[in-house]
Structure 1
Amino acid sequence: MAKFMDVHHGMTGITGEQLKQAHAADLAIQTEEGVTFEHAWADPDEGVIYCLSEAPDADAVQRIHQRAGHPADEIHRLPLTV
């Protein structure tokens, strides 16, 4: 399994509660694609959300986000971690 950081743009003004709801929607179905979402961060002023996950591939991450209603704009594999 690899680590991935995905990025969502255009989320200006997102609240903490909305971030929690979006993350919960991912968590509810993540096992169907073998994904484990570990953490999510948001910058409401910049309108950017970042999600860290472990998954078989980037496509699995995107499928979960799409099904949860918030497809990622970017997904980056993180081959080196400490």
Structure 2
Amino acid sequence: MEVPASDGGAGAMSEFMDVHRGMKGITNDQLMEAHRADLAIEGEEGVHFKNAWADPETGTVYCLSEGPSADAVQRVHERTGHPADEIHPVPLTV
């Protein structure tokens, strides 16, 4: 799952969009709790979680983060008890 950092040089950060499935019925409070858990330890992996979105009907949750690698993002999610099913690099934004 390792994705190299951007060509911005040493310490460059890349953006990632991750997808979590199986969270059907998630509430706003539960989403906030999961996001806060990530924020509490994100610095240990050099990651910053920017936003999280959820669809309670399908149980799909999306997180936008910035970090050195997809593996670093996944390590935070695993440690907080909600590993991502997919992590995608986001090399372009408009």
Q: Is this a same-fold pair by TM over 0.5?
A: yes
Q: Which has the higher helix share?
A: 1
Identity over the aligned pairs, expressed in percent?
70
Which amino acid letter does the alignment assign opposite residue 62 of structure 2?
Y
Deviations 1:28-68 (A, max 9, x none): 00000000000000000010000000000000000000000
Paired position in structure 1 for 2:56: 44
**RMSD, aligned CA:** 0.4
Larger Rg, first or second structure (1 or 2): 2
The TM-score, its normalising length taken from structure 2, stands at 0.86
Please point out which of 34, 37, 40 is paired with 1:28: 40
* Structure 1 ranges of 4+ moved more than 4 A: none
The aligned counterpart of 2:31 is 19
Give the alignment's TM-score, normalised by structure 1. Answer: 0.99
1:73 equivalent in alignment to 2:85:
yes
Give the length in aligned residue pairs.
82
Structure with more strand by fraction = 1
Match for 2:66: what amino acid?
A: E
